[in-house]
A and B are shown apart, each in its own frame.
Chain A
Amino acid sequence: MPMSSAAAVAPPPGGDAEKGPAAGGPPQPGGGGGSGGRARRRRQARAGLLFAAPMLLLFAVFRFGPVLGAVFLSLTDYRLNGEWTFVGAENYTRLGGDELFRDSLTVTLLYVVIFVPLTVLLSLATAAMLHQVVWRRGLFRGIFFLPYVTSIVLAAVIWKWIYDAEDGLLNGLLGLASLGPVDFLGSGGLVLPSIALTSAWKGFGYSMLILLAGLQAIPRSYTEAAMIDGAGPWQRFRHITLPLLRPVLFFVLVIETISAFQVFDAMYVMTGGGPVRSSYSLVYMLYDSGFKFFDFGYASAIGLVIFVFVLGVSLVQRRFLGKED
């Protein structure tokens, strides 16, 4: 998803990217101060602008433009035919009283609460296993990473069949044990965990790699010292490894939370938002408002609500990371 990635808000600790634009801040010595300095500087500036121009133009039109556009649209009743009137905060007050909005907000928050711990635990467990077991590490790492290179639509299609109440793989297995059938996607209580598991399966390989890099950055001598002191494997993990891994863990937590707030694809494919809107997320409501009801102003207001949530998560991250340093 090229544009739906508000994810990499901060580079993960431990990588080269840490010396990001902040550290790179002091301008490069462009070779100024030589003879003909001013003419050369002007030439350099012109070349710089020209080289950056295509991207700057693209950003101005397709990133900054739409951000302003979203704010503007959310204050209007823009319709399909392009006609609009200024309605002030009406879209927002309407959101406040809209049961559909409250439900989709609840669904999104519930999904965040289910998905984030699930995917972080899965990535942490697999990363910890890979860190401990040297045997065939490359192969296992590759296997865990495999679902990540596929699309969430593909994952949703496969898992929809796995969960199917009649012909599904999971109910087939349950049937062998004389259990079920369980209607995973048709029950209001099971649908969000089922979708969360699908997304976690699709994406955990990414966070696993980040966590594995974090684990490998912890000096062996720390855990070895604890071992000499008689600490068991679990104690070592709990009291030595985990505290040292905290910044990386926090990074993973934040990007997974942000991605969870944007959930849509899996729900669109697997349930269509059902049963009875039990999997109808904020982005789903935005999509319907925009492309089913062509209520562009209202849809833009929902978009800004999603933005505020994502921004909130990013700001929390900034604060905590600031403390870590």
Chain B
Amino acid sequence: MAASRTAARAGRLTLPVLLVLTAIVTIAPFAAMVLVAFAPESGQTFPDALLPDRLTLANFERVLSGSDVLRWTFNSLVFSFVSVVLVLLFAAMAGYAFAKKRFPGRDAVFWALLATLMVPFQATLIPSYILVSRLGGVDTYWGMIVPTLANVQAIFLMRQFIVQLPDELFEAAEMDGASEWRIFTTIVLPLVRPALATLGVFVFLWHWNDFLWPLVIGQSGEMQTLTVGLATLQSEDVPINQVMAGATITVVPSLLVFGLLQRYLTDSIAMTGLKG
């Protein structure tokens, strides 16, 4: 009896133990990154890198002074925040139009927009680049930002959300003589705030983590984003401790967003299947 009870308990513990082990392995690369970033430069080889006798900020100081990390951070912030604001505004407007307004060809247009999901961005990378370059947008913020605003997932999400709002709301406002723009700003926008928050987080992460488009558009060192800069940094002859210090800097905003909005993010993926 006792033996079988022990066996049963062991069986019950197998999954939790496996779960903890998997979690440790998942986190380990981050932990290693942070440790190496704070370790003195001499301790490059294992196990010194992971068991430094003292911690130091020297790597951060060197990477901040020796590379353009601050400039890259600034570029990433501009790229991400401006995109978030504009995508949210335009997607909410379009979502409202597709959900509540009837105009000729509306449903056909909506399907055509959705169909662009089937075209991977890489397939149109070259023509997009030539287009932006002919418009003079290489190495500019607008050249980096504007083409990424055509975001069909954002329109889709906003339309799904606005469709559920009762029509009576808008009709009543219309009777009172409110202009369309006023209805949009005073009724639609406040009501869709939760959807805007979720979408905003995703758009931020998509842009903050984007690589290929900033790589081809921000060619000069001046215009590199953090991801592009980090890739450059590690390809040069920079000590690994400094690379990891740079890497740690790039991950801070994502972690902040994650820490504040984890619940929000995970729930909305389960519900809508948004993907970066």
Contact = CB atoms under 8 A, between A and B. Distances in A.
Interface in A286-325: 286-287, 290-291, 296, 299-300, 303-304, 306-307, 310-311, 314
Interface in A15-33: 15-17, 20-21, 24-25, 27-32
Nearest to B209: A151
Which size class do A's interface residues fall under?
35 or more
Contacts of B129: 290-291
Nearest to A216: B270
Contacts of B196: none
Contacts of A262: 120-122
B148 A161 contact: no
A73 B247 contact: no
Contacts of B254: 149-151
A101 to B, nearest CB: 15
B151 A2 contact: yes
Contact of B120 (A20, A45, A160, A307): A307
B36 interface: yes
Nearest to B210: A1
Interface residues of B, number: 114
A25 B118 contact: no
B102 A151 contact: no
Contact of B212 (A65, A162, A255, A265): A265
A96 interface: no
A64 B122 contact: no
Contacts of A65: 127, 131
Contact of A143 (B26, B96, B147): B26
Contacts of B230: 153-154, 157
Interface string B229-266: 01100110000100110010011001101100011011
B163 A62 contact: no
Contacts of B63: none
B49 interface: yes
A236 interface: no
- Determine which residue in A44, A151, A206 has the highest number of CB atoms from chain B within 10 A of its CB, and name it: A151
Nearest to B25: A201
Interface in B74-132: 83, 90-91, 93-94, 96-104, 106-107, 109-114, 116-131
A39 interface: no
Contact of A149 (B33, B205, B272, B273): B205
A3 B163 CA distance: 25
B271 interface: yes
B190 interface: no
B155 interface: yes
A46 B134 CA distance: 32
Interface stretch (B2-10, B40-48, B52-60): B40-48
Contact of A145 (B148, B250, B262): B262
A180 B46 CA distance: 14
Given A6-B117, A66-B128, 16 more contacts: A1-B209, A2-B213, A2-B276, A8-B274, A17-B160, A27-B102, A48-B102, A62-B128, A62-B147, A64-B112, A69-B128, A156-B231, A157-B247, A261-B120, A262-B121, A269-B231
Interface of B: 15-16, 18-19, 22-23, 26-27, 29-30, 32-33, 36, 44-47, 49-50, 83, 90-91, 93-94, 96-104, 106-107, 109-114, 116-131, 134, 146-153, 155-156, 159-160, 163, 167, 171, 180, 184, 203, 205-213, 216, 227-228, 230-231, 234-235, 240, 243-244, 247, 250-251, 254-255, 257-258, 262-263, 265-266, 269-276
Interface of A: 1-12, 15-17, 20-21, 24-25, 27-32, 41, 44-52, 54-56, 58-59, 61-70, 72-73, 78, 82, 125-126, 129-130, 132-133, 135, 138, 140-162, 166-169, 171-173, 175-176, 201, 206, 209-210, 212-213, 251, 255, 258, 261-262, 264-265, 268-269, 272, 283, 286-287, 290-291, 296, 299-300, 303-304, 306-307, 310-311, 314
10 contacts: A6-B120, A21-B156, A47-B101, A58-B146, A62-B146, A78-B130, A141-B266, A161-B240, A162-B32, A290-B129
